[in-house]
Chains A and B, each alone.
Chain A
């Protein structure tokens, strides 16, 4: 049994085996690395001169670092959606998407932690969080749930990898010696025995159950960083649910984008099929409608009352300084993707990919609109402050660092895709096997 795969199974292994980068892949990696280097240089300047290199000032005291953080936390929620929720609901078609979404989740949560440290004025005192941490601060809750989520996400990526690593190690000649060493290090103990399989299955079940409340926690707590303050636009009881619905939307959107890119780059058409785009498209429509619903609650209900403190903030969003961005985020982030994906033709790979990109870009700007406009509408008027305190437009250092964090996240995903099979091999083989038995049975019944 060990090495005796049938012809079609051999093809599956060959198709799904991690591939070396082609020329495009190498250019992609170099490009991302360069962007990261520029970001690192900008961060060096920030460390040296302080946060003064950013456009943040006393009123807009949080800017695109924090919105980027919220964005990363949001995207990372997809890991729990696709892997855990679908696994528990026995949604079998999602199998080829589990690893992609788990990779996105791990990379995103990693960069969420990085960007929040970048935002700190005194990052060298990071350890104070552990020395003097106070449980009453939502930041400490965030530290706790994000690190928990990170660990669970890594395990959810790791356990299903073990059978695949066994397969990878059977083709030592295909991997470099360094990769072989790495595979042996992380997975040589996996023999695929009944007991091991049972343990792994149970562990995955427990993790899938636990990651759902933790995932809800990370984004709820992240929304509480805002909702626990008094400020108009943040002072909302709706915020946790609003953030979670937005997170599922951008996560699902990013999975469609990754599906399309990886399917084309690695010719995975037989594994990530049109059916997947069809189904993910429907999910995105549902999630976008849900997010739209929460947006109506968030903006129209306060707008109906127009309390004095909300007035300036909401008017700024609807018709003022932030109106172009606001309507862009609503249209491009929600309404247009719904209009595209609601039609069967819109759920073909390319249009779905475009809708996915719209969702992700819209979501990024949406996070910015949640963070900064509120800060620029304080309770007491901005008065007797330098002119640059009244507005916020990120400096090149901020843009470079924020873009570098996005590039870094993509780089980590790319590297994970290089090292590990994008579509789980073993699970695909098992399903293939099941299907073969099923068709055989059907044949026999037909006879």
Chain B
């Protein structure tokens, strides 16, 4: 059991990057077989990968080719989602100290309007005598998304991999989704977004949510453009404290880039929960309670004051 766990972990560490390459191979023809590319000299350093049959295979590092930049998927393809995946996020509240690097990275990569945020970090205190804690929120990518239910034009939609996205080329700006979302996830482009012209000129991609457009709604998208390349969402990789874990429910693994866990064990061991469970929205984001914290709550207050000035 332990053995299997550790190999899985290793796989995820290295494998996420190469997943795109592996996915391209058929099971009958082994592309990694010596001789397939005769001019490559083996380095002797082996890398563990998951074959399409689900077996762990060892491949010499030299035979791994970097995956070329995939062209962005078409918007109709982006509506379908990635086959066989069910993305999930775990946010460990015991690791968050309100650094907001997640927010910074997200805003930067998505060209979010200044003053608005897709990732938010709330100072929470549930009752007078309970402990305060920092709670980052992303879009919950609910399995019963209230926003998708109310959208009159199918501009926001749920994909088969669990991600909820927005087609800014279709959104009519009625803002019903914003009223429907109990997590206050969604922001609106009240004016033409303040972004460089070359980015504004790009065709809109549902998977990168760039460029944002005047009169449409924007929100956290779980970075499916990154996931498609086998990389982690920006907030996950930006957090120096490893607060965010991202992964696939079907593989039952989540990683923050340095630590990888079996999702079900992590939730069981640390008593994970979801926000506003009583509403029946079934979020894809899980929280681990702020116990045995890495930082005292107060250490996060520095960023609050810095922010206000």
Q: C-beta contact mask, A42-66 vs B, less than 8 Å → 1, else 0?
A: 0000000111101011110110000
The residue from B152, B178, B214, B276 contacting A379, defined by CB atoms under 8 A apart: B276
- Tell me if B279 and A230 are in contact (CB < 8 A): yes
Q: C-beta contact mask, B8-29 vs A, less than 8 Å → 1, else 0?
A: 0000000000000000000000
A122 to B191, CA, bound (A): 11
- Tell me if A137 and B151 are in contact (CB < 8 A): yes
**Interface-forming stretch among A18-26, A313-321, A380-388?**
A380-388
Q: A50-B215, A137-B149, A386-B115 are in contact. Are A379 and B183 (CB under 8 A)?
A: yes
**Interface-forming stretch among A126-134, A197-205, A272-280, A333-341?**
A126-134
- Nearest CB of B to A145, in Å: 14
Residue numbers of A with Cβ under 8 A of B are 49-52, 54, 56-59, 61-62, 119-123, 125-126, 128-129, 131-134, 136-140, 143, 225-226, 228-231, 375, 378-386
Q: Which residues of chain B have C-beta atoms less than 8 A from A129's C-beta?
A: 152-153, 172
The residue from B180, B186, B216 contacting A122, defined by CB atoms under 8 A apart: B216
- Nearest CB of B to A225, in Å: 7
- Tell me if A121 and B189 are in contact (CB < 8 A): yes
Q: Which residues of chain A have C-beta atoms less than 8 A from B116's C-beta?
A: 58
- Tell me if A229 and B179 are in contact (CB < 8 A): yes
Q: How large is the interface on B (under 10, 10 to 19, 20 to 34, 35 or more residues)?
A: 35 or more
- Tell me if B190 and A125 are in contact (CB < 8 A): no
B174 at the interface (CB under 8 A from A): yes
- Tell me if A375 and B172 are in contact (CB < 8 A): no
The residue from A56, A133, A226 contacting B153, defined by CB atoms under 8 A apart: A133
- Nearest CB of A to B190, in Å: 4
- Tell me if B190 and A57 are in contact (CB < 8 A): yes
- Tell me if B190 and A59 are in contact (CB < 8 A): no
> Which 3 residue pairs spanning A and B have beta carbons closest together?
A121-B173, A121-B215, A52-B191
- Tell me if A59 and B173 are in contact (CB < 8 A): no
A228 to B192, CA, bound (A): 30
Q: Which residues of chain A have C-beta atoms less than 8 A from B122's C-beta?
A: 380-381, 383
A111 to B161, CA, bound (A): 42
A123 to B216, CA, bound (A): 11
- Nearest CB of B to A58, in Å: 5
A133 to B150, CA, bound (A): 11
- Nearest CB of A to B113, in Å: 10
- Tell me if A231 and B172 are in contact (CB < 8 A): no
A140 to B192, CA, bound (A): 27
B120 at the interface (CB under 8 A from A): yes
- Nearest CB of A to B143, in Å: 16
- Tell me if A52 and B190 are in contact (CB < 8 A): yes
A57 to B215, CA, bound (A): 12
B187 at the interface (CB under 8 A from A): yes
- Tell me if A139 and B176 are in contact (CB < 8 A): yes
A128-B153, A378-B182 known; 13 other A-B pairs, CB under 8 Å?
A: A49-B191, A49-B192, A51-B188, A54-B190, A58-B187, A121-B175, A121-B215, A121-B217, A125-B173, A132-B155, A139-B174, A229-B150, A378-B184
Q: A51-B215, A120-B173 are in contact. Are A139 and B152 (CB under 8 A)?
A: yes
Q: Which residues of chain A have C-beta atoms less than 8 A from B150's C-beta?
A: 137-139, 228-229
A386 to B, closest residue via Cβ: B115
B123 to A, closest residue via Cβ: A383
Q: Which of B116, B152, B175, B191 has the most CB of A within 10 A?
A: B152
Q: Which residues of chain B have C-beta atoms less than 8 A from A139's C-beta?
A: 150, 152, 174, 176
- Nearest CB of A to B294, in Å: 22
- Tell me if B176 and A225 are in contact (CB < 8 A): yes
- Tell me if A120 and B172 are in contact (CB < 8 A): yes
Sample 24 A-B pairs with CB under 8 A, ordered by A number: A49-B191, A50-B189, A50-B191, A52-B190, A58-B178, A61-B178, A61-B179, A62-B175, A122-B173, A123-B172, A123-B173, A128-B172, A129-B152, A129-B172, A137-B151, A139-B150, A139-B152, A229-B146, A379-B182, A379-B276, A381-B122, A381-B123, A382-B184, A384-B121
- Nearest CB of A to B33, in Å: 48
A121 to B172, CA, bound (A): 6
B147 to A, closest residue via Cβ: A229
- Tell me if B179 and A231 are in contact (CB < 8 A): yes
B157 to A, closest residue via Cβ: A134
- Nearest CB of B to A438, in Å: 55
A243 to B120, CA, bound (A): 35
Q: C-beta contact mask, B132-158 vs A, less than 8 Å → 1, else 0?
A: 000001000000001001111111000
Q: Which residues of chain B have C-beta atoms less than 8 A from A134's C-beta?
A: 151-154
B171 at the interface (CB under 8 A from A): yes
Q: C-beta contact mask, B176-211 vs A, less than 8 Å → 1, else 0?
A: 101110111011111110000000000000000000
- Tell me if B120 and A384 are in contact (CB < 8 A): yes
B193 to A, closest residue via Cβ: A50
Contact residues, B31-56 vs A (CB, 8 A): none
Q: A125-B170, A231-B182 are in contact. Are A384 and B153 (CB under 8 A)?
A: no
Q: C-beta contact mask, B84-105 vs A, less than 8 Å → 1, else 0?
A: 0000000000000000000000
Q: Which residues of chain A have C-beta atoms less than 8 A from B191's C-beta?
A: 49-52
Q: Which residues of chain A have C-beta atoms less than 8 A from B307's C-beta?
A: 384
- Nearest CB of B to A308, in Å: 9
B117 at the interface (CB under 8 A from A): yes
- Nearest CB of A to B193, in Å: 10
